[in-house]
Amino acid sequence: MSIEIIEKNPLRESRTAGNENTGLLKLIAILCMIVDHAGAAFFPQYREMRVIGRIALPLFAWGLVVGCCYTRNIWKYALRIFLVGLIAQPCYMLGLNHKWYQWNVFATLLLGVLAIAGIRKKWYGSHVWAPILAILAACAVQMDYGWKGVAFILILYACRERKATIAAGMTAFCLYWGYGSSSLTSFLGIPAVRSISFLPQAGTLLMTLAQIQFWAILALPLILIPMRGRISLPKWAGYAAYPVHLLIIGLIRLAK
């Protein structure tokens, strides 16, 4: 996924409050994504790899928000995401054993961009109906992270101008997101505690911490804390990382 940052764009929005070192965030997200998908494909018994993978989507989503604020042409931005998602779909199906009607995460990202475009343009009330339609579309079609992923992108966009609101919005959503997700039965070989009978409140907290999706919260410090130094990945490399690593995983699975 590529993030466009154009310093002299007179149409860009005000600066975001979070970390705008999107090159570094994108690199971290790609590495976490690879760990996650390798765990899903080859090491399902090591749920810790899935926990690491929860960091990826929030970083990609934040990069998307920053990109939407800085890009000169949000429609070209959306078109690139659409094309990469289209190219990546066979790799997604091969690498993670999905069906053709189960769309990859770029469909989720695309709906997020289109919703943000509607909010920004305000065409005939599009700041209201565009995000609603995006979430409904994510409900109607099966895709990675689904409507919750689209809603998460919109929450980050709505909270982008203050660190406190970013932290509050992301924390609340991760608590909700974790509820009902798959659970950790152990972590680093230590059995996960599911409840404490003499202290129900602590038991509830531990049950929340045992939900894998809750650990998307680990991305929050990376989103909030500014990082010095710039890492600039070639645009093609950022886009290619998703389909290429899935293709490699799929080929390895076929060779086994």
Domain ranges of the chain: 22-255
Specify the pLDDT at position 5.
37
Contacts of 78 (CB under 8 A, 6+ apart): 110, 113, 114, 117
191 band by pLDDT with thresholds 50, 70 and 90: low
User: pTM for the whole thing?
Assistant: 0.86
Which H, E and C letters describe 13-45, residue by residue? CCCCCCCCCHHHHHHHHHHHHHHHHHHHHHCCC
Instruction: Taking each helix axis as running N to C, give the angle between helix 56-70 and helix 22-42, from 0 to 180 degrees, rounded to the nearest 10.
Output: 150
CA 127 to chain centre: 22
What is the C-alpha separation between 24 and 229, in angstroms, rounded?
A: 9
DSSP lists the bridge partners of residue 183 as 211
Between 242 and 45, the higher pLDDT residue: 242
Q: Which one-letter amino acid corresponds to residue 92?
A: Y
159, 169 Cβ separation under 8 angstroms? yes
Mean pLDDT of all residues in the chain? 85
Per-residue pLDDT tens over the stretch 103-159: 999 999 999 999 999 999 989 999 999 999 999 999 999 999 999 999 999 999 999
For residues 82 and 106, the answer to whether their CB atoms sit within 8 Å is yes
pLDDT reading at 240 higher than 50: yes
Average pLDDT over residues 150-174: 95
Q: Is the pLDDT of residue 3 over 60?
A: no
Tell me the mean pLDDT in the region 35-61: 93
